Structure 1
Amino acid sequence: MSIVTVLGLTEDALIGTTSSSEYSSEGGTPTFDRIPFRVKAGRRPNLNTFVIALRQGDDRRAHYGRIIAGSELNLRARPGGMQKDDAYGMQRTDIRSSELSPDLVRVMEIELLGEICVKDENSLEIAEPSQLPHTGQPVYELPATIIPKLLNIPEKDDDANDKPTSTSGLYLGKIESGGYSVPFFLPNTAIARHVAVLGKTGVGKSYAVGVLMEELYEKRIPILSFDVLGDNEQTAKDLKGVHIQAGTDQFRVPYSIIGIEEFLPFIPGLTERHREVIGEAYMKVFYEAWEQLDGGRVPDLQWEALYEEMREVGPNITDQATVNRAITRVQSVARRTALLTAGEVEWAKYLTEMPFVNIYVGALGQEQRNLVVGATARILQRLRRRNHIPPFVLVIDEAHLFLPGGIDPPPSTRVLREMIRTARHDSVGVVLLSQSPSSMDRQILLTCNTRILFALDPEDLRVVAGQIGDLPEETIKRIPRMPRGTAVFTSGMDIMRHAVIVKIRERTFTTHVAETPDLREAVEKWRKEH
């Protein structure tokens, strides 16, 4: 059975014929990367439309790809000739009188992605390009329903009603091709391999992550979010979760288990000897605390436990006066910090009982934010490895603040780098949002297997350009001009075969509160209220 029959292609889907020219302005010649074709008169193929080009002598195989460029050559519209007509006062009406004119040709280019082969009546095989495309062959628009097979992503469940659903995928938007659209499902497995959502301000990053949260919620996957701007407070309510402000009685970090790298920065003015005394005592208390860990409940340790240990180990390191000063500095932190606690904290309760936990860190300084995020990540990773909490997804907004690049990263970068590197084995997924990927730690960006790219500034685009899968240069150049709510999805070949442009769907049961304001309207509203 021919591929035209299996795919149900009709004359209405025929858009052109593969061509060849020595001139690049006419599309050039077919290669293993590009296929030029002459557009059939009267047809209007759209940019990024998925198409196939048949092969001569083999009706069971075809090349497939997407339209990435095009040009129109009109001999009657040459600038020199048009100038002469104007100079002589001639008003020509036949410059573009018909697309059947012998002086007019429209050529488009296909980015060659692979080959489709008919195995039997109902089965198609997708493979890498192996044969050079032939000229003079028909080019058809592909039915939208075949696109998920080309991308190797989940398809809509047969029993899905109004809202497209898939047991193996997250419904995030639609792929548009040839005037039609098909639901886009990000495979569930992509989350455990981590996701980076990148784009400049106001292009739809937070909105898209809200859509992702809806999908995780419906699949009963717990979510923990670090929120800098307070955008997710309403989302927490909509998802029947909890909104917590760091540094209040709702959320404090138990000092006994956060790790020495996070604990020492809480204490200003330390000398090297002070660090040695505190560090050795703290590490002993730290390990004793984890030996007592039971059911995800952090043990109730008092500050005195640390002071006593410092008094015991201190004389082996330095003089008594230095030990006393180190204790005094720790006591000062214990009295004034709003972030640390020595009391018992039931960390496991949040993620086992709440579908969504939003931790607001916007009221803290950046150094305190880094410490809270790094400490919490360390604690959650340890609890997860001991199976005290379920698998979950960690969402970090403004990730460039917590994961900056450079040779001396803050503790949060080191902890999160380790967490992201190993979290897949712990069944923990990480979603990072950033408007400035050029400021982020490169190693972490590379570790995020899936990237969702909204409109980016050219400098930030250069940082991620090498991580955009098989998108051609022509499409990459258009990323800075992509409309709001449209993103490029790219992932590893085992998750998604090709990069693709997706229009993010609307939220269905959460409220987006981070819309860009109209300042004139905002000022008028303020004046009326005051």
Structure 2
Amino acid sequence: MQSIGTVICTDHSPTTSEFTFVVTSSEVVPVRRGQLVQLETEDGLLLAVVQEVMKTNRFYYHAEAVKELERSGRTLSSIFPCDRWDMLIATAKPLGALKEESFDKITFPPSPGEKVYLADKNVISRFFGFDEENGLEIGFMSHHNVPVKLNMTRLLQKHLAILAMSGSGKSYLATILLEEILSRSRDKGRIFTLVVDVHGEYVVLSQDDSWELAQSVSIVKGSYVQFATPLLTERQLAMFQPEMSPVQVRELNRLLSDVRKAKGDIYSLSDVIFLIEKDEKMNPRTKDALLSWLYELEDTQLFGVEENPYLPEYAKPGRAVVLDLSDILSLRKKQMITAYVLQRLFELRRRGSIPPSFVILEEAHQFCPEAKQELAISKSIIETIAREGRKFYFSLCLISQRPVRLSTSVLSQANTHIILRVTNPNDLKAIELSSEMITRETLSMIADLPVGEALIVGSAVNAPLFIKVRKKKVSLSAYEETMEEAAKRFETDETQ
């Protein structure tokens, strides 16, 4: 292995937190900012990241001398062998040292004169904890061309958050994640995936005939969803009306018992309302309030006798369901549908009736905001899943362009964050508070990320990692067209 440089002394290095090396390689661009290097130390094989690269030449130290020569029509390079004194000085930050079979923190600085090498691909893979055989390949490390394959359990089991400003590639990355999950074979472990799709961006997954896994994706329109009233307890009905009082919930419990005795397991919300209207035992004020709540629920036209679609038939290993809410205008109705589906699937998973499951929740700040429960019907079940889901292998992927508006209790339960470009100071502050692994320096790099690059921090990797997101296999959705392409498509469709 050819060395690229040698550790040198400065007034402040080498230390356990930083060292400097002079680049000795004759290549045109031997090292770049963000690249990983390795060298031997007393602690073992040290892996470090290049934080800055400076180009220097001693002949150009004195600005006045350069200026005077240039004014006289002569140049330094015509008098002195300046090009022979061009030097690259790189500053690197140690990440860890390989001791036997594991990496540990560095406790002793590298020695001046030690040779520096570009990091070996196997060393990089071991350091970050990539799963070479069974991992989900979501991108690659650009300077090293190392595929980023993340272990599915480490990435998903303790929940995931994908955070970025609008147009930075959140949904694109989620689609890649879905591609990787659906392409897993039975011997690698297959799970069920639900996508709560607010804008209809994922519908293309089932329509792309060129993608071999399109048949694994089912689309369920929001207007097609119907809740099975007989499956709902009084507390679950109260979930849709958070302001319902304990007394009203207690009376509802009594009446649900009565309607089950009279109707068995086949009844609708109208049957419950009819029984309340005929009930003479209930306090009139409680009765009026309860009827008011239930009339409001009935007006949504979401409650029926049977569940539609029947979720246990859809939740199968290696399958995905896209819950397309783009045809629902009411935010409250979107929250109700999401709350019912999540509550039902989580209950089925706790009973072991469906496989381990993964929920991709687009626009998560709409469904679990940092607001009162009555302003977000779905917040309660999402918080429950965030707290308890990992015990039952029921995982969340929170996707949001406004982390500051997302419930802090839910976001803090996401042990892995994949962050694309974010520039809003309030959102950056929320991201900083949500993960102890994000430093001020890292925040400034997040604000400068180009589209298609991301930072991964948390349980999925052993250290913060910047990656380039790979290209997805399915066709572009309408939301990924340019404005010019959308305009041309509109006129073409209009003339046909």
Aligned residue for 1:147, secondary structure, equals helix
**Cα distance change on mapping 1:149 and 1:326 into 2, 3 Å:** closer
Q: Tell me what 1:51 maps to.
A: 37
Amino acid at match of 2:383: R
Determine if contact 2:192/2:357 at 8 Å carries over to the other structure.
Answer: yes
2:96 to 97, 102, 114: 114
Q: Tell me what 1:282 maps to.
A: 252
**Cα distance change on mapping 1:16 and 1:347 into 2, 3 Å:** same
Q: Tell me what 1:231 maps to.
A: 201
Q: How many residues align?
A: 473
Question: 1:490 Cα shift?
Answer: 1.4
In structure 1, the gaps of 5 or more residues are 1-9, 23-27, 156-165, 292-297
2:306 to 343, 347, 359: 343
**Cα distance change on mapping 1:406 and 1:275 into 2, 3 Å:** closer
Amino acid at match of 1:384: R
CA distance in 2, matches of 1:284, 1:382: 23
Aligned residue for 1:447, secondary structure, equals coil
2:6 to 17, 22, 35: 17
Q: Tell me what 1:513 maps to.
A: 477
Aligned residue for 1:455, secondary structure, equals coil
CA distance in 1, matches of 2:258, 2:131: 47
Q: What are the equivalent positions in structure 2 for 1:117-156 lying under 5 Å apart?
A: 117=99, 119=100, 124-155=101-132
Aligned residue for 2:412, secondary structure, equals helix
Work out whether 1:503 is the aligned partner of 2:468: yes
Determine if contact 1:449/1:491 at 8 Å carries over to the other structure.
Answer: yes
Q: Tell me what 1:254 maps to.
A: 228
**Cα distance change on mapping 1:355 and 1:343 into 2, 3 Å:** same
Work out whether 1:31 is the aligned partner of 2:15: yes
Q: Tell me what 1:160 maps to.
A: none
Question: 1:47 Cα shift?
Answer: 2.1
1:523 to 467, 487, 496: 487
Q: Tell me what 2:452 maps to.
A: 485
Q: Which stretches of structure 1, 4 residues or longer, exceed 6 Å deviation after superposition?
A: 285-291
The worse-fitting range, judged by mean Cα deviation, of 191-200 and 519-528 is: 519-528
Determine if contact 2:367/2:377 at 8 Å carries over to the other structure.
Answer: no
Work out whether 1:388 is the aligned partner of 2:353: yes
The worse-fitting range, judged by mean Cα deviation, of 197-206 and 338-347 is: 338-347
Work out whether 1:356 is the aligned partner of 2:320: yes
1:435 to 387, 401, 426: 401
Question: 1:208 Cα shift?
Answer: 1.4
CA distance in 1, matches of 2:65, 2:391: 68
The worse-fitting range, judged by mean Cα deviation, of 464-473 and 34-43 is: 464-473
CA distance in 1, matches of 2:151, 2:258: 41
CA distance in 2, matches of 1:229, 1:94: 64
Determine if contact 1:115/1:127 at 8 Å carries over to the other structure.
Answer: yes
CA distance in 1, matches of 2:251, 2:65: 88
The one-character-per-residue Cα deviations of 1:97-117 (angstroms, maximum 9, x if unpaired) are 65531xx44221211111124
Amino acid at match of 2:4: I
RMSD: 3.3
Q: Tell me what 1:6 maps to.
A: none
Aligned residue for 2:322, secondary structure, equals strand
Work out whether 1:201 is the aligned partner of 2:183: no
Determine if contact 1:469/1:491 at 8 Å carries over to the other structure.
Answer: no
**Cα distance change on mapping 1:314 and 1:108 into 2, 3 Å:** farther
CA distance in 2, matches of 1:379, 1:288: 23
Q: What are the equivalent positions in structure 2 for 1:460-471 lying under 5 Å apart?
A: 460-466=427-433, 470=437
Aligned residue for 1:462, secondary structure, equals helix
The one-character-per-residue Cα deviations of 1:249-275 (angstroms, maximum 9, x if unpaired) are xx11234545667745867xx9x8x85
**Cα distance change on mapping 1:263 and 1:125 into 2, 3 Å:** closer
Amino acid at match of 2:88: R
CA distance in 1, matches of 2:395, 2:80: 56
Q: Tell me what 1:188 maps to.
A: 152
CA distance in 1, matches of 2:280, 2:59: 91
Determine if contact 2:408/2:434 at 8 Å carries over to the other structure.
Answer: no
The one-character-per-residue Cα deviations of 1:170-212 (angstroms, maximum 9, x if unpaired) are 12121233xx312211111121111111112222221111111
2:339 to 355, 374, 377: 374
Question: 1:514 Cα shift?
Answer: 4.7
2:419 to 453, 469, 481: 453
CA distance in 2, matches of 1:330, 1:470: 47
**Cα distance change on mapping 1:461 and 1:332 into 2, 3 Å:** closer
CA distance in 2, matches of 1:259, 1:81: 86
CA distance in 2, matches of 1:95, 1:500: 46
Amino acid at match of 2:476: H
The one-character-per-residue Cα deviations of 1:478-517 (angstroms, maximum 9, x if unpaired) are 222222222111122xx42111122222223x33315543
The worse-fitting range, judged by mean Cα deviation, of 440-449 and 234-243 is: 234-243
Aligned residue for 1:243, secondary structure, equals strand
Amino acid at match of 1:436: R
Question: 1:432 Cα shift?
Answer: 1.4
Q: Tell me what 1:161 maps to.
A: none
Q: TM-score, normalised by structure 2?
A: 0.85
Amino acid at match of 2:305: A
CA distance in 2, matches of 1:312, 1:406: 38
Q: Tell me what 2:187 maps to.
A: none
The worse-fitting range, judged by mean Cα deviation, of 470-479 and 404-413 is: 470-479
**Cα distance change on mapping 1:428 and 1:83 into 2, 3 Å:** same
Aligned residue for 1:230, secondary structure, equals coil
**Cα distance change on mapping 1:382 and 1:174 into 2, 3 Å:** same
Determine if contact 2:218/2:320 at 8 Å carries over to the other structure.
Answer: yes
The worse-fitting range, judged by mean Cα deviation, of 305-314 and 496-505 is: 305-314
Amino acid at match of 1:45: V
The worse-fitting range, judged by mean Cα deviation, of 138-147 and 520-529 is: 520-529
**Cα distance change on mapping 1:134 and 1:353 into 2, 3 Å:** closer
1:65 to 48, 72, 92: 48
CA distance in 2, matches of 1:175, 1:148: 10
Question: 1:451 Cα shift?
Answer: 1.0
Aligned residue for 1:406, secondary structure, equals coil
The worse-fitting range, judged by mean Cα deviation, of 209-218 and 460-469 is: 460-469
